Structure 1
Amino acid sequence: MHDMVKGSNVALAALSEDAGSVIVGLSWTSPTGEGDADVSVLLLDANGKVRSDADFCFYNNPVAADGSVQLLGKTPTRDGSEDRIGFDLTAVAPDVDRLVVAASRYAAARFGDLEDLQVTLADSSGERLLRYAIDDAGEVAAIIFGELYRRGGEWKFRAVGQGYASGLAGLATDFGVDIDDDAGEAVDAGEAADAADTTEAADAADATGHVGDAGNAGQAGVVANTRGAGDDGRPAGDAVAGAVRRETGTAVPAPDLPAVPAPDLPAAPAPRAALDAVPAPRRSEGEAARPVPADRPRTAKKKVTLPAGPKKSLAENDSWREARLFPVSALKSDRDRETRATSVLLSVMAQVPEFGRRLTAAFGAPAGRMETFTEVSLPHGDGPRRPDGVIRVERAGKLWTALVETKTNGNALRAEQVQAYMDIAARRGYEAVITLSNDVALEGTPLVEVKVDRRRKHKVALWHLSWAEVAHQAQMLIRHEGVGNGAHAWLLEELLHYLQHENSGCHGFQNMGPAWVPVRNGIDDETLCHGDPRALEVVESWERLVRQVCLRLGGELGQRVLPVQRARRGTDPGIRRGALADQLCAEGRLQAELRIDGTPGVLAIGADLRTGRVRTSIEIPAPAQGYPLSWAKRLVRRLADAPADLHVETLVEGEGKGPRGTLERLRPEPGDLLPKSADSSITGFRLSLVKGMGSGRGNAESGFIRSVDDAVHRFYSTVVVHLDGPAARRTPSGQRPVPV
């Protein structure tokens, strides 16, 4: 893999022959596990400006109009998560000269709070071609990580690493996007509390039930920077003042910078200083202003409108069953289930372009006309092979082809079968083999081992897709993000109904494996020895279960739900899982953390195999203003509808655990949460629920998997929903955006 430094550039063709479609990944880690950012892409013409507002791809506009760019969302990796963007470079319009890849944070968050910032680029086979790491981001709200650009008829990548002071809206505006974030949006009582001089005013604001934004007033500063010369020909050493918001709320424009073409410069090491805040070039005075479209993009997140409830049924009684497009009553064997599931999925992918593109873009497929096939016969050795399905995408006369191998229920993928399909694909010039089963793949731990002939010029990518991921993407589209028309929504509803039916066999991860019972028994009778390989198998199954819980919860909420990995990026996954296996042997516990967009903290899950109980908990920080007694009363008031057996614990700085009690006991006396010592400083509160743990390894009512899933769902729906989320996202002008 090619490591880059700031200002360097490289031709994609020099790194891979399969660079027509690439996946760019932006990643970072957070010491607290709660840090996050949003990625965006700008399609720029030769003047360094967007052609229209549609050339600004971000969370409110995740797909470019021509399909050349698609934000794929966050994907769990062995180091945490990675935000991925799919680029079909063959589909980029001729008048688009550059594709700028950026990320932004919100409110008072800065990139300096994150660690291990890096951008990677992989070709259509999934092989990573380059990496650019940013060592010290500094106090900036947005960063341009890099850009893809044309030079001499080929595509190149440049490592930019520019910080930007005024956030996403400021960055987009300076590239010519007209942002529609109304300055007149209402300020709620929580913001009134921010400006209050007394703690009583803060408590009064809190009583309204709105989310407060203490300490998050919109701020930015005027910062200058020297930019290293690159392919755009701008001389190094030019000091550029950003157009940023002063405390008075006025904007100071930056001087114009002409874009002068220049030949490629060799990569040179850049000083490892903190990223400075440097904006993009603004429109010159002589340049005609673009007409402002009626519907301008908003950096504030869109409101999500859930579909209306089901209409009243015309059935005469409950025994009548609605006719379904994909019936499941006739499924009797695993072969029937695999054949039906493959046909159902592939047909919906072909008929609903948004859905088909969502599933295949992450595998390097271009945006184009898709056709799908089942039970195709292909010659191989002594006899033909029949993969379960084939996906073909046509773009500009070129074909992208993937073979599909499907398993349902608990059936495992067979290595020799997948190997045969890999060989067929390589021989016929196909691009990928996609395996589809209830199992969840872990990075660094392949589900099947295949041999790759390095002597072959053509590379074939092997990808895995879980049925849980398929259901998640269908839920996100029809229930939260929207699709093109009513017929597409109906098709996805029918697909989702089929996948969730007990007879389909497409239920996601549903078996903790053969090591589960021996490990559980070994913990009970204290005979499980340190280094037992079965403990590692259980840890891997636990990780798969946690990732599936994230998919299911995220699909229900329409929010990103990701597992938190505390290990530093680059840590070998085998070493990390080995440490967790040692902890399981020593303490008899499995632990995980989930980060959910819009929640005030990290949701922790702990399964204690010694006591047979599952604990779900969340820590919320203490308010910045007010009195401790007011905090306690406010917390108990907000948890009025939470379960009575909810445990509430006060977190005290430097003293470990503080006062605690059940919600039932604390409701009449919230003051019992206060420490006895007046000098004790309250840092927050921990809320937790405990329930019995299933013992079986499967997904039955009494199984471990079901008990963990139910515990997380109950905790979120009865506790977390009543809590204030983190500070709402602000636009650079300081007004509050649409609530998320």
Structure 2
Amino acid sequence: MIKGSNVTLAALSDNVGSVIVGLGWGSPTGEGDADVSVLLLNADGKVRSDGDFYFYNNPVAADGSVQLLGKTPTADGNEDRISFDLTVVPDDVDRMVVAASRYEGARFGELEHVRLSLADGAGENLLRFVIEDADSVSAVIFGELYRRGEEWKFRAVGQGYDTGLVGLATDFGVDIEDDAAAVEAQDDSADDERTDAAAAAADEPVPQGTLRAVPSPRRPGDEGGPRKAATRPRTAKKKVTLPKEAGRTLAENESWKAARLFPVSALKSDRDREMRATSVLLAVMAQVPEFGRRLTAAFGAPAGRMETFTEVSLPHGDTPRRPDGVIRVERAGKLWTALVETKTNGNALKSDQVQAYMDIAARRGYEAVITLSNDVALEGSPLVDVKIDGRRKHKVALRHLSWAEVAHQAQMLIRHEGVGNGAHAWLLQELLHYLQHENSGCHGFQNMGRAWVPVRNGIDDETLCQGDPRALEVVESWERLIRQVCLGLGGELGQKVLPVQRVKRGTDPGELRSRLADQLCLDGKLQAELRIEGTPGILAVGADLRTGRLRTSIEVPAPEQGYPLSWAKRLVRRLAEAPADLHIETLVEGESAGPRGTLERLRPEPADMLPRDGARITGFRLSLLKGMGSSRGNAESGFIRSVDHAVLRFYTTVVAHVDRVTPRRTPAKEGAAATG
């Protein structure tokens, strides 16, 4: 689409009762980002109330008409996705504006490939709108969904704002409150009051451990005591509160094991693991609405009453089929149904099984088939090949979840974001314990594949040639591993961790992987970059298959003020707990290399980090090297585990400390100024 054009959604697809809008962009540095927002407007072009403003502090509409789904990594950056259920949008809403804003003085002109896409309920992309002229503005209206009679249409807008999120929202009638200090104090006080009140009502002491930090703010419609008057929207993001340490155990000794809701000791076979894992997951999804909604919203499911089933028999030719599970969501008398096919313990999905479920779903009018396994799906590289009958009017979406993503979402809710009550938190904790148990078979991506050993041998004896399909298989496995590392680290930190891919706009993912495979054949190296929210730079991970060593590194920009010697001394002080073999390289302007050395050598003499010729220092590169596992699997000596440990160790011992010393953009928009 071009700026100013419009289209009727029904003319593009028969399945537009719900749609997914994606806002995407890339960044030359890998650090640029923006926040999405949605405003529901009446016929006068204003919000009906402040509650019609949906953004990071108000991401979900109570009626399910709007839900901000969060970020998904793409080949050239990342994409924020928003779910719209057009069948339940109130009649007095005339149009819905989709926008994004930057913060801390950043502008959209610093981003690349700023675009919008819209997909129907089956996940099929219907339109795309690229914004070419968003230069000096800090907020942009990408487009709007609006009514014409009984139909919904989309208009490509591309209008910029110099005043950021606050200015944009105010322009549509939203009354913004941005006293960040008052917000934080009020939120902390409210959380304590809710916890203490709940304990008092139950005549119990305030519980210790993780549950104290779990309850989330009460939403409209919740039952409970007296409520405070509604406050105005606040664009200052709330701080994440990490759960407290668990209370002292009452066990007599360490041999006593706590009773678990989902035991794993009786699991004897892969079939047992699949049946137990499916039943456990689907049961918790149905009982914890926040969790069930988190896993299904991105697949086009509405917000409504969810029921889940296992071992359902469905007719299919002469032999009935039994999918591992069924998810049904009801809202306003309408049903959304997905069939679930589960694999555990590294077992691969079978194309014939998934094909049968796709055929059954199409015949019965179901909306989706969800596959769930240890594997991680890649963009443009489906895990199973299925044929879609183009003659069928009803389209079925094929979606995939990895067990690592399920565990990540559970971690984010119970450790960082909060859920509705303590019982929900306990259920999620039990689920997470089950998924992480070695006997459950739900451990995520664990095997680099059959090509791993031949490729390493070919690199060692220099017989691996460009175009070898085994090299491409290893590159795909490496990409899956990095995506899983991002999920694991993000769940531990409660922050967004996304893989960075510096590619040109429109690059085909398969073509990119082919180039990386050819490069692997030449230099024997696998490279990746991770962007961690709130860190001063990009965390780089490299595996040198020739030397058998892993390198993790980060480039920290030099402060804008002060003296170079002060920078060096302060950096060394902040790295007091870092490994002695941490390698520090001073980055200088021009092509010449700066001083370098280990932290152990530089601790007594930080001045050795300064260039002798007085060259201007632009930053410091911090690196750690370690041996990598030799086996392809997740054994103690395995490559996958060694990468996981290397990234976590580098973050906790190095990155987490330099994050607090080097000036950078304010993380997480903690104050009012960060929203401009």
What is the TM-score when the length of structure 2 is the normalising length?
Answer: 0.91
- Could you tell me which residue of structure 1 aligns to residue 459 of structure 2? 523
2:159 aligned with 1:162, yes or no? yes
- 1:411 aligned residue: 347
* Cα deviation, residue 731, structure 1: 7.7
Classify the secondary structure of the residue corresponding to 1:630.
Answer: helix
Q: Distance in 1 between matches of 2:579 and 2:27?
A: 32
Moved segments of 4+, more than 3 Å: 183-186, 729-737
Q: CA deviation at 1:184?
A: 7.1
Deviations 1:44-73 (A, max 9, x none): 222222222222211122212222211111
Residue 719 to residue 405, structure 1, CA distance change in 2 (3 Å): same
Map 1:335-484 onto structure 2 (within 5 A): 335-484=271-420
Match of 2:583 in 1: 647
How far apart in 2 are the matches of 1:662 and 1:544? 32
Supply the AA of the counterpart residue of 1:715.
F
C-alpha contact (below 8 Å) 2:373/2:401 kept by paired residues? yes
Find 1:589's aligned residue among 522, 525, 528.
525
Aligned residue type for 1:728: T
Name the CA shift for 1:735/1:501 in 2 (closer, same or farther; >3 Å): same
Amino acid at match of 1:58: F
Residues 273-295 of structure 1 deviation map (CA, whole Å, 9 limit, x = unaligned): xxxxxxxxxxxxxxxxxxx9542
Report the counterpart of residue 435 of structure 2 in structure 1: 499
Q: Distance in 2 between matches of 1:312 and 1:184?
A: 34
| 2:320 match: secondary structure | strand
Asked whether the 8 Å contact 2:534–2:668 carries over to 1, the reply is no
Deviation at 1:297, TM superposition (A): 2.2
Report the AA paired with residue 346 of structure 1: L
1:660 correspondence with 2:657: no
The CA deviation at 1:478 is: 1.1
Return the letter of the residue paired with 2:32: G
Distance (Å, rounded) in 1 between the aligned partners of 2:455 and 2:430: 40
How do 1:615-630 and structure 2 match up within 5 A?
615-630=551-566
User: Which amino acid counterpart does residue 587 of structure 1 have in structure 2?
Assistant: D
In structure 2, C-alpha distance between the alignment counterparts of 1:723 and 1:168, rounded to whole Å: 30
Mark the CA change 1:733 to 1:671 in structure 2 (over 3 Å): closer, same or farther: closer
User: 1:31 Cα deviation (Å)?
Assistant: 1.0
Aligned partners of 2:134 and 2:160 also within 8 Å: yes
> Which of 69, 94, 99 is equivalent to 1:97?
94
In the superposition, relative to structure 1, how do residues 480 and 671 fare at CA in structure 2: closer, same or farther (>3 Å)? same
| 2:109 pairs with 1:88 | no
Equivalent AA in structure 2 for residue 660 of structure 1: R
| Distance (whole Å) between structure 2 residues aligned to residue 730 and residue 369 of structure 1 | 33
Task: Provide the residue aligned with 1:254 in structure 2.
Answer: none
Which amino acid in the other structure matches residue 535 of structure 1?
Answer: A
CA contact (8 A) 1:183 1:735 kept: no
Equivalent residue number for residue 222 of structure 2: none
Cα contact 1:107–1:729 (8 A) shared by 2: no
User: Identity of counterpart residues, as a percentage?
Assistant: 81
In structure 2, what residue type is equivalent to 1:681? R
Matches within 5 A, 1:190-589: 294-589=230-525
Q: Does 1:697 align with 2:632?
A: yes
Residue 48 of structure 1: aligned partner: 45
Change (3 A) 1:732 1:413: closer
**SS of structure 2 residue aligned to 1:390:** strand
Post-superposition shift, 1:734?
A: 6.7
Whether 1:124 and 2:60 are equivalent positions in the alignment is no
Aligned-partner Cα distance in 2 for 1:704–1:310: 32
| 2: CA distance, partners of 1:331 / 1:124 | 38
Contact persistence 1:78–1:444 (CA under 8 A): no
Out of 69, 73, 83, the residue aligned to residue 72 of structure 1 is 69
- The amino acid across from 1:173 in the alignment is T
Q: What amino acid does structure 2 have at the position aligned with 1:98?
A: R
Which AA in structure 2 matches 1:142? A
CA contact (8 A) 1:181 1:731 kept: no
Residue from 83, 107, 110 that aligns with 2:107: 110
Is it true that 1:172 corresponds to 2:169 in the alignment? Answer: yes
Q: Distance in 2 between matches of 1:620 and 1:402?
A: 46
2:25 to 25, 28, 48: 28
Consecutive unaligned residues of structure 1, counting only runs of 5 or more, are 187-291
Distance 2:272 2:529 in 1: 38
Between the aligned partners of 1:350 and 1:386, the Cα distance in structure 2 is 20
Name the counterpart of 1:719.
Answer: 654
Q: CA deviation digits over 1:349-372, x for unaligned, max 9?
A: 111111111111100111111111
Moved more, 127-136 or 628-637: 628-637
CA contact (8 A) 1:185 1:735 kept: no
User: 1:99-147 CA distances to partner (integer Å, 9 max, x unpaired)?
Assistant: 1111111102110000111000001111000110001211111111111
Deviation at 1:178, TM superposition (A): 2.2
Question: How far did 1:736 drift?
Answer: 6.5
Amino acid at match of 1:375: E
Give per-residue Cα distances to partners, 1:646-693, cap 9 Å, x unaligned: 111011111242100111111111111111102x12111100111110
Query: Is the 8 Å Cα contact of residues 30 and 77 (structure 2) preserved in structure 1?
Result: no
**8 A Cα contact 2:314 2:320, kept in partner:** yes
Q: Is the 8 A contact 1:118 1:133 kept in 2?
A: yes
Cα deviation per residue 1:282-325 (whole Å; 9 max; x = unaligned)? xxxxxxxxxx9542222111111122221211112211111111
Instruction: Note the 1:676-695 alignment, pairs <5 A.
Output: 676-678=612-614, 680-695=615-630
* Structure 1 residues 729 and 616, CA gap change in structure 2 (3 angstroms): closer
**For structure 1, which segment, 574-583 or 721-730, has the greater mean C-alpha deviation from structure 2 after superposition?**
721-730
The 8 Å contact of residues 236 and 671 in structure 2, kept in 1 or not, is answered as no
Query: Distance in 1 between the 2:548 and 2:96 partners?
Result: 53
Q: Would the aligned equivalents of 2:236 and 2:672 in 1 still touch at CA under 8 Å?
A: no
CA distance in 1, matches of 2:444, 2:667: 34
| Cα-to-partner distance string for 1:15-40 (whole Å, 9 max, x where unaligned) | 11111111110111111111111111
2:671 and 2:383 mapped to 1: Cα distance?
49
Counterpart of 2:645 in structure 1: which amino acid? D
2:568 corresponds in structure 1 to 632
8 Å contact kept, 1:349–1:356: yes
Task: Give the letter for the 2:401 counterpart.
Answer: L
In 1, the alpha carbon distance for the partners of 2:117 and 2:398 equals 19
One-letter amino acid of the structure 2 residue matched with residue 15 of structure 1: L
Q: Do 1:365 and 1:393's aligned partners in 2 also have CA atoms closer than 8 Å?
A: yes
One-letter amino acid of the counterpart of residue 673, structure 1: M
Partners of 2:669 and 2:174 lie apart in 1 by 14
1:728 aligns to what?
Answer: 666
- Against the structure 1 CA distance between its residues 707 and 183, is the aligned structure 2 distance closer, same or farther, given a 3 Å change threshold? closer
Aligned with 1:605: secondary structure?
strand
SS at match of 2:491: helix
1:512-552 Cα shifts (integer Å, max 9, x gaps): 00000000111111111121110000000000000000001
Query: What residue number does 1:253 align with?
Result: none
The answer to whether 1:709 aligns with 2:644 is: yes
User: Greater shift after overlay, 409-418 or 165-174?
Assistant: 165-174
Distance change in 2, residues 1:380/1:732 (3 Å): closer
Instruction: Give yes or no for contact 1:377–1:385 (8 Å, CA) kept in 2.
Output: yes
Corresponding letter in the other structure for 1:695? S
Which residues of structure 2 form unaligned runs of 5+? 184-227
Q: Distance in 1 between matches of 2:415 and 2:177?
A: 25
Instruction: Tell whether the 8 Å contact from 1:106 to 1:729 is kept in structure 2 after alignment.
Output: no
Secondary structure of the residue aligned to 1:381 is coil
Compared CA separation, residues 472 and 730, structure 1 to 2 (3 A)? closer
Q: Note the alpha carbon deviations across 1:69-96, whole angstroms, 9 max, x for none.
A: 1111111223332111111111222222
Whether the 8 Å contact between 2:302 and 2:331 is mirrored in structure 1 is yes
Question: Per-residue displacement from partner, 1:355-398 (whole Å, max 9, x unpaired)?
Answer: 11111110011111111110000011111000000011112111
CA 1:734–1:552: 2 relative to 1, 3 Å: closer
